Structure 1
């Protein structure tokens, strides 16, 4: 190992940090300079939470195995009727049971 950090890795991390900072600050500046938010921009902003949730859940549902997919289906159905904490508890119990029996 020649060096503790490779320069390319450090530059990638710094570029990612700068890009993250600029997108956050840019969004804030963009919204604060508007007198009112146009309906299309508001619709796009309202879609962000669902898009982020999908990007977090979809890979696990596809590659996580049968136990994870079944647990997500159970959690989805429970989430339509229950509060967050009971849904998480039942989902946790479900995945533990399925992992015990399915593997």
Structure 2
């Protein structure tokens, strides 16, 4: 019996990944192309800085539409942790906590 640790994505998954990549990258690229020769106000700069984060939230948001208790507990705990630590630690916590819950529940 062999178990695969890594599997290539299906064509549909690959297209979705490319779509997310295009959406995330285009927010920066379009903003840069439109505003590259213009002075930018601090408010506009804050909007441009927030755009990639908004795209990432749209990727994670569907996880909130689940009835899986492990996922909901992980999301709630991650939101609380996100108020205390930086993004890298938040991601590490979310992955580790979810793995722990998936293993023992």
Q: Which has the higher contact order (CA 8 A, sep 6+)?
A: 2
Greater CA radius of gyration, 1 or 2? 1
Instruction: Structure 1 unaligned segments of length 5 or more: list them.
Output: 1-15
**In structure 2, distance between residues paired with 1:24 and 1:84:** 19
TM-score by length of 2: 0.53
Provide structure 2 residue ranges, at least 5 long, that are not aligned to the other structure. Answer: 1-18
CA deviation map 1:66-98 (0-9, x unaligned):
211210111221222235555444433432343
Q: CA RMSD in A?
A: 3.5
Query: How many pairs were matched up?
Result: 84
1:10-25 to 2 correspondence within 5 Å?
none
Higher fraction of helix: 1
1:33 is aligned to 2:37: yes
TM-score (norm 1): 0.53
